[in-house]
Structure 1
Amino acid sequence: MLKHGNMWPVSLKGGVMLLMLMVLNVSGTFVGINVGTAISNLPSASDIVSILKEKKIQHVRLLDSDHQMLSALANTGIEVVVGVPNDQLLRVGQSRSTAADWINKNVAAYIPATNITYIAVGNEVLTTVPNAALVLVPALQFLQSALLAANLNTQVKISSPHSTDMISKPFPPSTATFNSTWSSIMSQYLQFLNNTGSPFMLNAQPYYDYVKGQGVFPLEYALFRSLNPDSQIADPNTNLFYTNMFDAMVDATYNSMQAMNFTGIPVMVTASGWPWHGAQNEKAANVDNALAYNTNLIRHVLNNSGTPGQPNTQVSTYIFELFNEDLRVGPVSEKNWGIMFPNATTVYSLTFEDMATTNTDSPALRGKFCVAISSAPHSALKQSLDWACGPGSANCSAIQPGQSCYKSDDIVAVASYAFNDYYHRTQESGGTCSFNSTAMVTSTDPTLAPMAAVVVQLLGPQAQTILLHKFNRAG
């Protein structure tokens, strides 16, 4: 990437950054979905896979290792997480041969036709079935040995999903730690993840924390909605601002690992969603909130902006869940997390495509750019930039510190990058180029055409092809 320096005028840098926005948005971050089976009239495996294909869902988490589902997923390319249910954990964790048999029957028998990439061992074991806690790490180790024996350890990674209930006092995130009751087991678990290059699997459900908080946190904060400036939530130890509860949960997990001297283990969110229906006393469980949460979650994950504490680390996430599970125990809301009914009708519509790479420009916006006003106060630009990259869900990955287009001394160029992305994504649904009067629309960009030739020569062949394709499509 071109370095900033005195040889580059501000206007040229802004043009280069807008150009790079179009060609450098490459990420492995994804949003998948959970498929539960506590359903009295569960659709057939082939019907479920047809739904996944129709919705262009490329990642699915199975809570068990249903053989019909594994067969139906063959040759689809869909990446699959298979689960070792809690009721099988004791057997797997007490016998190396049982673990090997489990791998042979539920993983090795289906690879390579079925693209199994992760094994989730148990689910929230330490907080829901503490009597099985002592066998959790042995189960991980026995299954890993079986993968090694089958030469599958490179393709398939093993971990175990944990609830945020494992974290004592999760806010502020900077001081979060795991419950000391499980210190020994968590240390062994984290060492296993570190040794095998596996992610920390986290079930992050802001709905529960919002309900338990009884008004401590605003609903907007839980739903990724814009917060009133007077209600901004900051970590007093780091001065980092949190625009949503999801990010705070993820950062609390990273800091809890760091408190145990483990860094570099990525967090993968294996379940996050919002119930769409509840009992009379469950007011927050409604369709509007569920649609808002999951829509904003998908947009937030796919814009690759990371979290305030980990801006350069994206968090792949599995929505909870595909179908309502009427056989789940608990309150009414527990049975109604699905985005669909078992008869394949939708509760509400979600788009799982990567909105960061989908062309969202209307024809009217081609050749128009939303740029920061250079004379605007830097403090106002900074506030607008924070909103664009936070609640506005602009794709700000390349302007994060340490990334290719970050310019610590040029807030006008950085803000222009974010403003333009937000405007082109949202204009058809009502988005504007105002940002509290710190931005304006310009129909000409005199630097883009001459600079394109320079940038094309500096990029590799693949990026050149992408760039030329985009210019041809726009022209």
Structure 2
Amino acid sequence: MALHFLLLLFAVSLVAADEDPFIGVNIGTELSDMPHPTQVVALLKAQHISHVRLYDADQAMLIALAKTGIQVVITVPNEELLAIGQSNASAANWVSRNVVAHYPATNITGICVGSEVLTALPNVAKVLVNAIKYIHSALVASNLDRQVKVSTPLSSSIILDSFPPSQAFFNRSLNSVLVPILDFLQSTDSYLMLNIYPYYDYMQSNGVIPLDYALFKPLPPNKEAVDSNTLLHYSNVFDAMVDAAYFAMAFLNYTNIPVVVTESGWPSKGASNEPDATIDNANNYNSNLIKHVFNKTGTPKHPGIAVSTYIYELYNEDMKSGPLSEKNWGLFDANGVPIYILHLTGSGAVLANDTSNQTFCVAKDGADPKMIQAALDWACGPGKVECSPLLQGQPCYEPDNVIAHANYAFDSYYNKMGKTPDACDFKGVATITTSDPSHGSCIYPGSLGKNSTFGNFTAPSMNSSSDSSAYNIHSYELRIRSLLMMTGFLLLGLILL
């Protein structure tokens, strides 16, 4: 067991990806009014989405994606696997038609050979390894094997005894196929593609899995799930499943294959027997997932090593069969209108899916309060922000804390400077969000639609020493309150003595 854990610890350095983690989206096409590929690409660009996964290799879509820089993963559909898995020539023809003909104008970076084949089409599993190898051989022949990785998305259901993660293992009946696949992934420096759906885990648990645990909501330590073997604490289903995959691979002696999650999400609407398929839950899950990836939190077993993830999915697919929830996993409808506005901070412009350009600048989660205070003082002073609404008795005085006051000052400066990304930095303590921080009678400039650039206004540096009365009053108020509080504590201490 000790050797087993040492191998896993060694894997941490090998699993770390060379690139920053990313959030991508899956693009399904089962819509009665599927947007034209150029419309799809326009939406992707507007949302700053840099990674997409297609469930096929649609020629019109690949042409529309050309010269966009968007990284594209294409798919060999399940129905084509038998032909490709039995013929090297068929695989070569597929690669020639769908990769060579479009690369490098279209930035194809990966190929999914089938999708959940081991669970969805077990009778085709026998040719899956051959299909993977034949596709890769065709890439080698075209000198594209380093640019285009090959793998196959697997359902997380093939991982048995998934909690605690340290005891997880793959369904042994699949080992005759899984082991050659893992050999291939390791030898080609590719990655394990895994589909993770906490929604289904939650629904099938009969109340054992708490909803907050499935939705990435913060949990007190006593509510977290603990792996009794490693004593690692898990605060969400997603991390537990990712670590279960790493442990399952280690059980078969594969310790240097990274995981990429090819599908994860939450439905925004369901039938009466799907009460937790709601807009709020979908928003919470996807917003928290995106922040989790971009924060590079990693998993309890691999802290700091974020798992890049493709959200399922870009559009609601109204032609999907099955329960109502199957039609409602999308971030947008067919017209490109958001199903809900993601609660995002810290992800920059990625998937800031507010098409009305409603963005705000607020203090970054976890930033040093002292740095936020310094930035607030600068904004209300040298930054020349009108901070009088933050004074006592004014609309934005409550809540009376540095975060709330900084949010207002940062957003005011951001709007004053024309909403340029550079105007929402404040030495790293601010970030752009699509969530309107306005509250009560405190209306933020962005929510009023003000977006002027103040033509000849020159932004001062945060090193500027200029002053303003609003800044001074606010700063003095803060310092007086701080002194009064400190005096109170000293008097209390003397009384107790």
TM-score (norm 2): 0.68
Q: Which amino acid aligns with 2:293?
A: V
Single out whichever of 220-229 and 292-301 deviates more from structure 2: 220-229
Q: What's the secondary structure of 1:253's corresponding residue?
A: helix
| Cα shift readout 1:197-222 (whole Å, capped 9, x = no counterpart) | 10100001100000000110110001
Match of 2:356 in 1: none
CA–CA distance in structure 2, aligned partners of residues 65 and 473 of structure 1? 50
Match of 1:89 in 2: 81
Match of 2:370 in 1: 368
Match of 1:170 in 2: 162
Shift of 1:368: 2.9
Q: Which amino acid aligns with 1:347?
A: I
CA–CA distance in structure 2, aligned partners of residues 370 and 186 of structure 1? 50
Aligned-residue identity in percent: 48
CA–CA distance in structure 1, aligned partners of residues 463 and 279 of structure 2? 38
Q: Is the 8 A contact 1:120 1:161 kept in 2?
A: yes
CA–CA distance in structure 2, aligned partners of residues 426 and 239 of structure 1? 36
Match of 2:241 in 1: 249
Kindly tell me: are residues 354 and 197 of structure 1, through their superposed partners in 2, closer, same or farther at Cα, counting changes over 3 Å? farther
Q: Which amino acid aligns with 1:225?
A: K
> Given the alignment, which residue of 305, 311, 318 partners 1:313?
305
Shift of 1:38: 1.4
| Cα shift readout 1:217-267 (whole Å, capped 9, x = no counterpart) | 110001000124432211111000001110001000001100010011000
1:65 equivalent in alignment to 2:57: yes
CA–CA distance in structure 2, aligned partners of residues 53 and 357 of structure 1? 11
Match of 1:385 in 2: none
Q: Is the 8 A contact 2:287 2:344 kept in 1?
A: no
Q: Is the 8 A contact 2:160 2:170 kept in 1?
A: yes
1:226 equivalent in alignment to 2:218: yes
Q: What's the secondary structure of 2:302's corresponding residue?
A: coil
| Cα shift readout 1:415-447 (whole Å, capped 9, x = no counterpart) | xxxxxx9986699988xxxxxxxxxxxxxxxxx
Q: Is the 8 A contact 2:30 2:317 kept in 1?
A: yes
Q: Is the 8 A contact 1:168 1:176 kept in 2?
A: yes
Shift of 1:349: 2.2
Q: Is the 8 A contact 1:203 1:270 kept in 2?
A: yes
Q: Is the 8 A contact 2:363 2:429 kept in 1?
A: no
Aligned pairs for 1:379-394 within 5 A: none
Match of 1:339 in 2: 331
CA–CA distance in structure 2, aligned partners of residues 473 and 67 of structure 1? 50
Q: What's the secondary structure of 2:208's corresponding residue?
A: coil
Kindly tell me: are residues 44 and 474 of structure 1, through their superposed partners in 2, closer, same or farther at Cα, counting changes over 3 Å? farther
Kindly tell me: are residues 132 and 352 of structure 1, through their superposed partners in 2, closer, same or farther at Cα, counting changes over 3 Å? farther
Match of 2:283 in 1: 291
Name stretches of at least 5 consecutive residues in structure 1 with no aligned partner.
Answer: 1-25, 372-420, 431-470
Q: Is the 8 A contact 2:76 2:111 kept in 1?
A: yes
CA–CA distance in structure 1, aligned partners of residues 108 and 463 of structure 2? 39
Q: What's the secondary structure of 1:345's corresponding residue?
A: coil
CA–CA distance in structure 2, aligned partners of residues 133 and 100 of structure 1? 20
CA–CA distance in structure 2, aligned partners of residues 179 and 106 of structure 1? 33
Shift of 1:329: 1.8
Match of 2:125 in 1: 133
CA–CA distance in structure 2, aligned partners of residues 197 and 353 of structure 1? 33
Kindly tell me: are residues 142 and 473 of structure 1, through their superposed partners in 2, closer, same or farther at Cα, counting changes over 3 Å? farther
Shift of 1:92: 1.0
Q: Is the 8 A contact 1:55 1:351 kept in 2?
A: no
CA–CA distance in structure 2, aligned partners of residues 367 and 311 of structure 1? 24
Q: Is the 8 A contact 2:21 2:296 kept in 1?
A: yes
Q: Is the 8 A contact 2:170 2:248 kept in 1?
A: yes
CA–CA distance in structure 2, aligned partners of residues 196 and 210 of structure 1? 35
Q: Is the 8 A contact 1:57 1:353 kept in 2?
A: no
CA RMSD after TM alignment: 2.9
Kindly tell me: are residues 347 and 288 of structure 1, through their superposed partners in 2, closer, same or farther at Cα, counting changes over 3 Å? same
Name stretches of at least 5 consecutive residues in structure 2 with no aligned partner.
Answer: 1-17, 351-359, 374-426, 438-459, 465-497
CA–CA distance in structure 2, aligned partners of residues 238 and 357 of structure 1? 37
> Given the alignment, which residue of 19, 30, 35 partners 1:38?
30
Q: Which structure 1 residue ranges, 4+ long, deviate > 4 Å from structure 2?
A: 351-354, 356-363, 421-430, 471-475
Shift of 1:343: 1.9
Match of 1:187 in 2: 179
| Cα shift readout 1:330-349 (whole Å, capped 9, x = no counterpart) | 11111110011112211012
> Given the alignment, which residue of 142, 147, 153 partners 1:150?
142
Kindly tell me: are residues 31 and 72 of structure 1, through their superposed partners in 2, closer, same or farther at Cα, counting changes over 3 Å? same
Match of 1:103 in 2: 95
Q: Is the 8 A contact 2:316 2:332 kept in 1?
A: yes
CA–CA distance in structure 2, aligned partners of residues 255 and 221 of structure 1? 21
Q: How many residues align?
A: 362
Q: What's the secondary structure of 2:283's corresponding residue?
A: helix
CA–CA distance in structure 2, aligned partners of residues 338 and 119 of structure 1? 23
Shift of 1:64: 0.6
Q: Is the 8 A contact 1:366 1:474 kept in 2?
A: no
CA–CA distance in structure 1, aligned partners of residues 239 and 27 of structure 2? 24
CA–CA distance in structure 2, aligned partners of residues 27 and 370 of structure 1? 29
Kindly tell me: are residues 230 and 351 of structure 1, through their superposed partners in 2, closer, same or farther at Cα, counting changes over 3 Å? closer
CA–CA distance in structure 2, aligned partners of residues 126 and 342 of structure 1? 32
Kindly tell me: are residues 310 and 346 of structure 1, through their superposed partners in 2, closer, same or farther at Cα, counting changes over 3 Å? same
Kindly tell me: are residues 474 and 44 of structure 1, through their superposed partners in 2, closer, same or farther at Cα, counting changes over 3 Å? farther
1:323 equivalent in alignment to 2:315: yes
| Cα shift readout 1:89-118 (whole Å, capped 9, x = no counterpart) | 111111100000000000110001000000
Match of 1:199 in 2: 191
Shift of 1:132: 0.5
Q: What's the secondary structure of 2:256's corresponding residue?
A: coil
CA–CA distance in structure 2, aligned partners of residues 77 and 130 of structure 1? 36
Q: Is the 8 A contact 1:285 1:333 kept in 2?
A: yes
Q: What's the secondary structure of 1:37's corresponding residue?
A: coil
Q: Is the 8 A contact 1:99 1:146 kept in 2?
A: yes
CA–CA distance in structure 2, aligned partners of residues 192 and 230 of structure 1? 41
1:75 equivalent in alignment to 2:53: no
Kindly tell me: are residues 186 and 329 of structure 1, through their superposed partners in 2, closer, same or farther at Cα, counting changes over 3 Å? same
Q: Which amino acid aligns with 1:246?
A: F
CA–CA distance in structure 1, aligned partners of residues 227 and 144 of structure 2? 42
Match of 2:115 in 1: 123
> Given the alignment, which residue of 201, 214, 224 partners 1:209?
201
Kindly tell me: are residues 147 and 362 of structure 1, through their superposed partners in 2, closer, same or farther at Cα, counting changes over 3 Å? same
RCO (CA 8 Å, sep 6+): is it higher in 1 or 2? 1
